Amino acid sequence: MNEKLGVTTAVSLFGLVVATIYLISYWGSFDIDIFQYAGLTDFVKLAIYPLGLALLGLVMGVAVTTISFPFEKLTRATASIKIESLPVALRIVAVIGLLVALAINVLAHGQWKWFATVMIFSPAASYVCFHEKIKERIPSLATRFHFVLLCVLIPLFAAMVGSSRAQNLKDGNAHVIVDNTGVAAGLKATPEHPLMFIGFVSDTFVIYETQTRSVVLIKQSDTLPFVLKPNTRSKDDIRSALRNIFS
């Protein structure tokens, strides 16, 4: 019972951390400190929809890997391997990989940094699979490998989704835009530079003016409507996401 409670607590805390990372990445792209407006109970609500579909794709990728990769044979072959017995050169490469990934994430500004960070960081982090305590807890290499990898990838993926989604709004490529009527009547907008809806928090609409590149906060009104309409200029989500990641 206590063990199940511990696992549930750990998973809940991990989910809260992932949601927090996403919110910092998304709202921080607009220089907004979301913690000034959202309470603890708002975190999951603000993050679950945009993260849900993206993480579903990641989980499906893990499932395909599990089915197609010969983990059972590798489990037997690597049973005697300890992290201390790995060649010094490999451990040095792992440390360098972690440092390079951290440097790219901190110093680079393009969306490509997330892809580069995942590619460099994941192999280095996979060495943790051979730690004795983790092997004792999780004997199966497949389960161990995916557990470690997902613990690394999901937070990075959350940051990438948040940053990429924010850039998509800044480029004016979201599916819906804010109609400059009602509460948004006084905002600057043209067909080429529409108003983008960042989010709704603490009874406040947060809008991005692509023309002035400014963030505007408007309190919800009981008399004036807030109108969203389809963005006829929006581009294909996949092409836009790929362009953002590699730009």
The closest of 210, 202, 187 to 30, measured between CA atoms, is: 210
The fraction of the chain above a pLDDT of 70, given in percent, is: 68
Give phi and psi for 125, each to the nearest 5.
Answer: -70, -25
Residue 158: pLDDT band (50, 70, 90) is: confident
What is the predicted pLDDT for the residue at 201?
86
The strand ranges marked E within the chain are: 176-178, 195-201, 204-209, 214-219, 228-230
Count of Cβ atoms closer than 10 Å to residue 124 Cβ: 20
What is the predicted pLDDT for the residue at 10?
77
Residue 245: pLDDT band (50, 70, 90) is: very low
**The two structure tokens encoding residue 103:** 């440097």
Is the pLDDT at 29 greater than 80, yes or no?
yes
What residues does each domain of the chain span?
2-170, 176-230
Minimum mean pLDDT among 17-26, 51-60, 133-142: which range?
A: 51-60
How far apart CA 159 and CA 155 sit, in angstroms, is 6
For residue range 192-215, list pLDDT tens digits in order.
Answer: 899 999 998 888 899 999 999 999
Give the mean pLDDT of 177-201: 91
Strand order from edge to edge, sheet including 214-219: 214-219, 204-209, 195-201, 176-178, 228-230
Count of Cβ atoms closer than 10 Å to residue 90 Cβ: 12
| Selection from 26-30, 81-85, 150-154, 229-233 with the highest mean pLDDT | 26-30
pTM: 0.75
